[in-house]
Amino acid sequence: MEDLKERERKELEEKIMAKRQQIEFERTNMAIKTEFSPDNRQNPDIHKEHKNLYDPAGHVIEKGELKELSEAEEDLIRLIDKLHKLNKDD
């Protein structure tokens, strides 16, 4: 019984670490897309430049990517909650 809980705990910790890496990768990828997007690289003499630099990522990043990131973050929260409950049962 104790080995089963320890194995489950270890699997949850590995899933949490993998999910965190996935989220970090996706956030970095979105930040790069946003920063180097042609929409945000206009001629500095154009008045819209200031506005475009501060546009939300949704203007550059596809909605599907934002949804995937949001779902991954929710999965991470569920995994962490599950691990906390498992640790609390001990």
Are 80 and 16 in contact, with CB atoms under 8 Å apart?
yes
Q: What is the pLDDT of residues 12-38, one digit of tens each?
A: 999 999 999 999 999 998 888 877 766
Which tokens sit at 24? 């970090």
Q: What is the pLDDT of residues 44-89, one digit of tens each?
A: 555 554 555 555 555 567 788 889 999 999 999 999 999 999 988 8
| 18 within a domain of the structure (yes/no) | yes
- The conformational region for residue 55 under phi > 0 = left, psi -120 to 50 = alpha, else beta, is beta
| 32 within a domain of the structure (yes/no) | yes
pLDDT of the residue at 25: 95
Q: Residue 54 is which amino acid?
A: Y
Domain that holds residue 12: 2-85
Q: Give how many domains the chain has, as a whole number.
A: 1
| 31 within a domain of the structure (yes/no) | yes
| 90 within a domain of the structure (yes/no) | no
DSSP conformation class of 32: H
Phi, then psi, of 46 in degrees rounded to 5: -85, 130
Higher pLDDT pick, 2 / 74? 74
